[in-house]
Amino acid sequence: MKSLLKYLSPFAPDLAGAVSVLFELDGVIVICDAGGCTGNICGFDEPRWFTHKSALFSAGLRDMDAILGRDRMLADKLIAAAKISSRKFMAVIGSPVPAVIATDFPALQRMCQKALDIPVMALEASGTKYYEVGAAQSYITLFKTFAVEALPVKSGTIGVLGATPLDYSTLEAAKVIRKHLTGDVRIYGMGGTLDDVAKASEVEKNIVVSPAGLKAAEYLKKSFNTPYEIAAPGIADELEIGDLSGKRVLIVHQNFAALELKKRILKEYPDAEVATGSFFNAVSKDADFKFNSEEDFRKVFAENSFDVVYADRAFERIVHNIYKGSWVDFPHFAVSGKLLEEL
């Protein structure tokens, strides 16, 4: 059964992706839920939350709120929290409850915006999609809201889109990326500021490090003619590559990370046969394998003989009794929730 997970836990959801982009940008973030979704994000999917004080709230929805659709009451609570918090923007992020009762997020946004003098963004997550969908929505909404002015391009400035702990699996992602880039590097969402977002039009080019940043890169290209490149600098730095000469290799991660590692392997071992696969990135055509279920994943292993697999260890359970080659842990926080720092 495609929707049944027997070996894996669910991957990071859209609302976690949405939060990960906004988390460091000094806004009020409200998860429109009953509490559990907020707990999942704070206690699990947003590792920065334990060390970085943030104005993150749960709407604390209760059954009667959902049944009666008390949006006015919710808007009043949102407005009050935004006023107390004195932050630069407010983002209201959906969850399964508003998805079921069809909360009118644009209306909620307008109700709050009327009473507040900071920008209010509404992001309709449902908890049923993967993190990349929510992250992409966050980037787009951020740039549409704040990057409204076409500024002169500054030579030597680079924007980085798509960097979050969910993909880079480390709290040091900004440091890792900076090691590989020179110039004035602005990593939106990790180490970057809201001012960097507002001045997005002045960067010379954008680097898109995960598919979550791709739509925003296209938007910025269309709006400000900013070119972009796809690369995931440093994401596979920690991996040791043994002798892969003539070996059949499979890399499983988000597509850009997988391609980065593939590039590195082929540079050292041009005769290696390297395939990539992902459970994510439905829009990307780069992967050799697209897994929609545990069954798909297992089938690929049954039909192909790989010598070496680079993938998060969480996937190993699916094929433990049919795959006998070597497995190199390529952690993906959005899958296993493990940071490189924990390994």
Partner 1 sequence: MSNTAFYITAKNLAELGKNNIPSELLSGKNLVYSSPATLAFNSPGAQGFGVKRAGLAVPESVMLLVSPGCCGRNTAALGRDRKYADRFYYLLQDDTDIVTGRHLNRIPEAVKEICSSRPVPPKAVMICITCVDALLGTDMERVCRKCSEAAGVPVVPCYMYALTREGRLPPMASVRRSVYSLLKKRPKKSNACNLLGYFSPLADECELYKLLQSVGVKNIRELSRMQSFEEYELMAEANFNLVLNSEARYAAQDMSKKLEIPFIELNNLHRIDKIHAQYMALAQALNVTLDDEKFYSESAKIIKNFKDKFGNLRFAVGEWLNADSFELALSLAEMGLQVNEIYGTIGESNFVYLKKLAAISPATKVYSNLSPTMLYYDKREAKIDFAIGQDAMYYHADKPGIKWNSEVRQFGYQAVNDLFSAIGEVLQ
The site for partner 1 (CB under 8 A) is made up of: 1, 3-6, 8-16, 30-31, 33-40, 42-45, 49-50, 53, 55-63, 65-67, 77-78, 80-81, 83-86, 95-97, 99-101, 126-130, 314, 336-337
Q: How far is the CB of 292 from partner 1 (least distance, A)?
A: 11
DSSP 8-class letter at 49: G
Residue 175 structure tokens: 């440091």
Closest CB to partner 1 among residues 201, 254: 254
Residue 305 burial (C-beta neighbours within 10 Å; 0-12, 13-18, 19+): exposed
Q: Tell me the DSSP string of 108-141.
A: HHHHHHHH-SS-EEEE---SSSBHHHHHHHHHHH
Q: Which is nearer to partner 1, 50 or 106 (CB)?
A: 50
Distances from the Cα of 60 to the Cα of 34, 76, 164, 189, 246, angstroms: 5, 13, 26, 26, 56
Which residue, 67 or 182, has its beta carbon nearer to partner 1? Answer: 67
CB of 66 to partner 1, least distance (A): 6
Paired strand residues for 27:
none
CB of 55 to partner 1, least distance (A): 6
Residue pair 204/181 in contact by the 8 Å Cβ criterion? no
Residue closer to partner 1 by CB (options 37, 160) is: 37
How near is the Cβ of 335 to partner 1 at its closest, in Å? Answer: 8
Least separation in angstroms between residue 204's CB and partner 1 is 38
- Ramachandran category for residue 160: left, alpha or beta (phi over 0 → left; psi -120 to 50 → alpha): beta
Minimum CB distance to partner 1 smaller for 76 or for 184: 76
* DSSP for residue 241: -
Contact status, residue 192 vs residue 244, Cβ threshold 8 Å = no
**Crossing angle of helices 214-224/131-146, nearest 10°?**
20
- Alpha carbon 277 to chain centroid distance? 18
Closest approach, Cβ 287 to partner 1, in A, equals: 20
- 326, 307 in Cβ contact below 8 A? yes
Closest CB 336 distance from partner 1, rounded Å: 6
The minimum distance between CB 213 and partner 1, in angstroms, equals 21
Strand partners, 290: 278
Residue 13 or 213: the one with the smaller Cβ distance to partner 1 is 13
- Cβ nearer to partner 1, comparing 101 with 275: 101
197 CB-side CA count, 13 A: 25
Regarding beta strands 55-58 and 326-329, do their DSSP bridges make them parallel or antiparallel, or are they unpaired?
Answer: unpaired
- When the beta carbons of 65 and 260 are compared against partner 1, the nearer one is 65
- Least CB distance to partner 1 at residue 299 (A): 16
Nearer to partner 1, 14 or 260 (CB): 14
Q: Are 108 and 65 in contact (CB under 8 A)?
A: no
